[in-house]
Every structure is written in structure tokens, then in C-alpha cells.
Amino acid sequence: MKIYSWNVNGLRAILKKDFIKFIKEEDPDILCIQETKLQESQLTEEIEKIEGRFSYFSFAEKKGYSGVAVYSKEEPISVKHGLGIERFDSEGRILILEYTDFFLFNIYFPNGQMSADRLNYKMEFYDCLLEYANNMVSEGKKLLICGDYNTAHTEQDIKNAKANENNSGFLKIEREWIDKFIQNGYTDTYRFIYPDEVKYSWWSYRFRARERNTGWRIDYHFVSNNLLEKVKDADILTNVMGSDHCPVMVELA
């Protein structure tokens, strides 16, 4: 089973940029989308009915902001929107889909660059997500947590580490949370398969950053360690255009 995650920076925009061609060529079993920037009233048949897949959406209250979607060949057992915490759920950042062998979290994690308040919001979101996930794992559930985490973990995951150490997305407090996440029993699947590979999943639109490969790796598939034995492969599809992010993939047995 191949599970893809992609921050498309606007689902309606990406539909005009070979999005359907990408789905036909890659044929994902599950495709998780972040930053749809959609309201429910803006859903069209073109958006909902893709390749016979089941589709699910979570919307932010604010127009043109955030939002996640999942396209799945297999119909999930259940679908949940959010963590049950209004100040996070109102931004439409989480879909949780239950499958036979695991629970899939599709998450668009907050960005902390706007202000100190938003950085605090991001860190609180991280901690609430970890507590929620730990409670599920303690019940014996297996988790795949994918999406745009909005943090590069190590210097290996960012082109200019020193220049960005005071910028949200590479702050010590953010990187330490990913350390804590790993210590709590979760594994970065791309690093599990490719411990020494340097690849990025996001590039600024400024300064020809993608052309120069001045990027950050901030899009991940983490699994709870009780699911790790099922991880077969991972990839970062740097050749796929259409957004400031590229898709990332994990393959499960």
C-alpha cells in the first residue's frame, strides 16, 4: 500500500496543474492533501470524484485558509475530524481515518512564523497531538501520522541551518519536540529507510530556491513503532511540480 502526502497550497489551483495526471501516474492507494484552502460550499464534482476514490475533507472556519483532504481507494471504517479541541479543530487541520490495520492521521500542522502567539499555538497543537496519539497507542492501536509538520528536524533536513536557527520551522524548541515525538515511540519513515539521504520537500517561492535546491524537509510520514515492521519504502518526489511543496510517500506491506 502506497500512501502519499502533499501540501498543494490550494486544491483548486493544483487541479489546473496536472494534479489528475499525477494521480493517474502514481496511483496512490491513499492520497493525503494539506492546505486545500477550501470551504464546503466550494466543493465540486471535479474535486470530490477523483478516479473512483472515496474523498473526505476538513474545512477551516476562515475562508481560503488551511484545510485537509484524503482520497482513498479503500473506504475507511470511520472518519474523524480533529482532536475534539475546538481551538484546533476550527482550523480544519486534521482528518483521522480508521483502516483495518492502522489509523491514518492527515495533519496540516500550524506555522509559527507569524507571531509569538502562533508559535505558542503550534507548540500546544504538537503537545495535544502527541497526547492524543499516545493514548491511542496505549490501547494497542497502530498509527501513521503524515502531513506538513512545518518543522525541519535536523541540519540534514535544511539547506541553510545556521541562517535559519532563529526562524520558526527550525527553532530549537520545535526541533526538540520532534526529538520528544521520536522518544515517545514514533519513527520518521524516510529517515528509517534513508538515514543519510539529503532531500527536501519545501522550497520558498523567492530567490529561485527550488531551482537552486535551497529547501527544507518538513513533510513526513511518522509511524508508531508498533507499525514500523510494515514499512517497506519511502520517497520524496522532488520532480513533481505545482506547489511550493512536493509529495512524499511511504509504502506499507
pTM for this model (two decimals): 0.97
- Ordered per-residue pLDDT tens for the chain, 253 residues: 999 999 999 999 999 999 999 999 999 999 999 999 999 999 999 999 998 899 999 999 999 999 999 999 999 999 999 999 999 999 999 999 999 999 999 999 999 988 999 999 999 999 999 999 999 999 999 999 999 999 999 999 999 999 999 999 999 999 999 999 999 999 999 999 999 999 999 999 999 999 999 999 999 999 999 999 999 999 999 999 999 999 999 999 9
Residue-level pLDDT at 51: 84
Measured distance CA(225)–CA(40) in Å, rounded: 35
148 is catalytic: yes
Give me the CATH number covering residue 71: 3.60.10.10
**Which whole-number Å values give the CA distances from 76 to 23, 63, 91, 161, 215, in the listed order?**
19, 28, 23, 40, 34
Residue-level pLDDT at 114: 84
What single string gives the DSSP state of each residue in 172-236?
A: HHHHHHHHHHHHTTEEEHHHHH-TT----SEE-SSTTTTTTT-EE--EEEEEEGGGGGGEEEEEE
Residue-level pLDDT at 90: 98
- Looking from the CA of 147 toward its CB, the CA atoms found within 13 Å total 27
The residue count of the chain comes to 253
Catalytic residue among 148, 157, 188, 219: 148
Residue-level pLDDT at 74: 98
Residue-level pLDDT at 247: 98
Residue-level pLDDT at 94: 98
Residue-level pLDDT at 99: 98
The count of domains in the chain is: 1
Q: Which range marks the domain in which residue 28 is found?
A: 2-252
